Structure 1
Amino acid sequence: MTEAIRVVVTGAAGQIAYSLLYMIARGEVFGKDQPLILHLLDIPPMAGVLEGVVMELADCALPLLQEVIPTTDPKVAFKDVSAAFLVGAMPRKEGMERKDLLSANVKIFKVQGQALNEFAKKDVKVLVVGNPANTNALVCANYAPSIPKENFSAMTRLDQNRATSQIAAKLGVPIAAVSNIIIWGNHSSTQYPDAGQGKVFINDVWKSVTEVLNDTSFLQGPFIDIVQKRGAAVIASRKMSSAMSAAKSACDHMHDWWNGTAPGKFVSMGVFSDGSYGTPKDVVFSFPVEIKNKQWKIVQGLTIDGFSKSKLDITGNELREERDEALSVLESN
């Protein structure tokens, strides 16, 4: 039998993890023949809830799940893990300034970065889900210098899934018939959902989304607004933030990172920028990537028009500001 891998989920007593843990333990991320040992990390006040989650996982009788280790200690949580889903983060509260949010999260991701650095496997794949995800990933990597920066990423797959769903609905085709929709930049209201490189399978052939749709005003207006504001719309309707869809997107992200992307298909991931497409370097920026052998590579050579360039500049500037604010917090700690 294949040797079990250890996977940690932080914020494991929370809403997103409640869906995420089941999907992971069923084999939807790492494979239907890959045994797992799940490490569940949360803060001490959530320890009781965590025990209930452990009971539910046991009651699911999942064949791949060899062991579940609930803990409030990062040293235990990150010991020998091959993959990490960093879901837990300080949520933005009413009246909270962005700098206050960054400051609170710097403390969380500093501790987790240090624990990853000391206890995790050096080829660990780290996915940051907790917001502000891009800058949290940057901070976490900063405190784990023994792990390659390429092994840290931020989740923009939820935005990509939202955008893909909107395009499929607009064209009246199944989700599987739409591919290569891109999210550029930050997982925030400045992100740029881009259907300009998208493909749609229609009449037994893959065609350009923009040519088939033939509606520039929609793609440069309502489409972007809907995707950028979708999280807020879910909260307004559900009175809680996205959980099921966020969990599914985290699984999609890690699945593709672990197993690779199909030829000609690319996915959106927040990764350390090398300056591609004129973006700022040394921020975690969402790009279209292709993945092979667990290594991502930014898709090069895409045509970026003036409208798209202006959107990349806006989200890039926000990420640069976030990075500088986070670094100032780091220096004062």
Structure 2
Amino acid sequence: MAEPIRVVVTGAAGQIAYSLLYMIARGEVFGKEQSLILHLLDIPPMAGVLEGVVMELADCALPLLRKVVPTTDPLEGFKDVSAAFLVGAMPRKEGMERKDLLSANVKIFKVQGEALDKVAKKDVKVLVVGNPANTNALVCANYAPSIPRENFSAMTRLDQNRAAAQIASKFGAPISNVSNLIIWGNHSSTQYPDASHGKILIDNEWKNIVDAVGDNSYLEGPFVETVQKRGAAVISARKMSSAMSAAKAACDHMHDWWHGTAPGQFVSMGVFSDGSYGSPKDEEFIYEAKSKNILGNSVEKFSSVKLDLTGKELQEENKEAMSVLDSN
């Protein structure tokens, strides 16, 4: 068994972490032979709940889990970590606009970026889950200048999983029969779920999803809208934001980032844009990490319009976040 790596989860007393910690500790992210030391970071008012989480992890009797470090101190939480799941953020509530989240959350991710910069391993992989994820990742990276920007990523795997589930449901197919869907743009209602490069396995043959569906009005209408508004729909039904599915997506995202994707497969991650496809350069913009090699350097007109819309929203959101920080 490999020597243990240190992994931190912020918001460790929260709902997403309640599912996430178990998945990490049982080897679903870093492998069944990789032992772990889990750092659980949360705010002081949650210290009591954190103790209960530690008890439950102990009671799970997980062979890979060597040690648990519960803390409310960011410098202890991020000390020597190789991977970070930044889950802790003010949650979105029903009727709340994304801009309402900015004021509190950018301050949280500034502190976490500073702590990462001081004490984390310099090759740490930082996955931002807490919303608004793209902007939070930008803020965090800006305050951790000693860590390469490519080591920061915002989660849109949940949106990709949602998109895959919609296509699988339409065909009555297993989710494993759907691959290579892309999520472009901001993790918000302007995101663009793109099925044009996706594949579905039908009768033992991989087919292009657009050809298999044969209905562009669906793929450019209800499909896109369902994925865009899925988070709000979950909140409306559950009266709380997505938790179990978000935890699963975080595991999927980090697993594929850590181990790499299988040949011919690609996934969507929020990374810093290089300006490809007309996206705003240096913003935390979502596109598949190897997209230039796989997709070429242009997109069709419908996609271009969607990319422009979400890119502008992200630029405005980032400017607002920076203005909050500048005023403090």
Q: Same fold (TM over 0.5)?
A: yes
User: What is the aligned partner in structure 1 of residue 300 from structure 2?
Assistant: 305
Question: Structure 1 residue aligned with 2:311, among 309, 313, 316?
Answer: 316
Scaled by the length of structure 2, the TM-score of the pair is 0.97
Whether contact under 8 Å (2:10, 2:40) holds in the other structure is yes
What number of residue pairs does the alignment pair up? 328
- Give the structure 1 partner of residue 327 of structure 2: 332
Structure 1 unaligned blocks of 5 or more: 291-295
State the identity as a percent: 77
Equivalent position of 1:7 in the other structure: 7
Instruction: Tell me the CA shift for residue 302 of structure 1.
Output: 6.1
Q: Which amino acid aligns with 1:179?
A: S
Please say which of residues 20-29 and 98-107 is displaced more in the overlay.
98-107
Q: Which amino acid aligns with 2:8?
A: V
Matched, 1:283 2:283: yes
> In 1, distance between residues paired with 2:89 and 2:258?
24
Work out the CA distance in 2 between the residues paired with 1:311 and 1:60: 45
For residues 209 and 146 of structure 2, what CA distance do their matches in structure 1 show? 42
Runs of 4+ that moved beyond 3 A: 92-100, 296-300
CA distance in 1, matches of 2:3, 2:288: 32
Q: Are 2:243 and 1:243 aligned?
A: yes
CA distance in 2, matches of 1:101, 1:241: 13
What is residue 253 of structure 2 aligned with on the other side? 253
Q: Is the 8 A contact 2:101 2:131 kept in 1?
A: no
Partner of 1:42: 42
Residue 204 of structure 2 aligns to which amino acid in structure 1? D
> Partner of 2:287: helix, strand, or coil?
strand
Tell me the alpha carbon deviations over residues 10-69 of structure 1, each in whole angstroms, 9 at most, x when there is no partner.
000000000000000000000000000000000000000000000000000000000000
Secondary structure of the corresponding residue to residue 267 of structure 1: coil
Q: How does 1:112-151 map to 2 (within 5 A)?
A: 112-151=112-151
Per mean C-alpha deviation after superposition, the further-off stretch among 90-99 and 277-286 is 90-99
Deviation, structure 1 residue 121: 0.1
Provide the secondary structure at the position in 2 that maps to 1:106.
Answer: helix
Say whether the 8 Å CA contact 2:92–2:241 is kept in structure 1.
no
Kept in 1, the 8 Å contact 2:84–2:127? The answer is yes
The residue that corresponds to 1:227 in the other structure is: 227
Q: Is there any run of 5+ residues in structure 2 with no aligned partner, and where?
A: none
* Number of the residue aligned with 1:293: none
**How has the CA–CA distance of structure 1 residues 97 and 233 changed in structure 2, closer, same or farther, with 3 Å as cutoff?**
closer
Describe the shift of the 1:98–1:219 C-alpha distance in structure 2 as closer, same or farther (beyond 3 A). Answer: closer
3-state SS, counterpart of residue 288 of structure 1 = coil
Q: Secondary structure at the match of 1:35?
A: strand
- Determine the structure 1 residue equivalent to 2:207: 207
Per-residue CA deviations over 1:148-187 (Å, capped at 9, x if unaligned) read 0000000000000000010111122111111000100011
2:93–2:240 CA contact under 8 A, matched in 1: no
Look up the SS of the partner of 2:29 in the other structure: coil
Q: CA RMSD in A?
A: 1.5
More divergent stretch after superposition (243-252 vs 95-104): 95-104
Task: Say if 1:289 and 1:298, in contact at 8 Å, map to a contact too.
Answer: no
Tell me the secondary structure at the aligned position of residue 268 of structure 2.
strand
**Contact conserved, 1:37 with 1:65, CA < 8 A, in 2?**
yes
Does the 8 Å CA contact 1:289/1:299 hold for their aligned counterparts? Answer: no
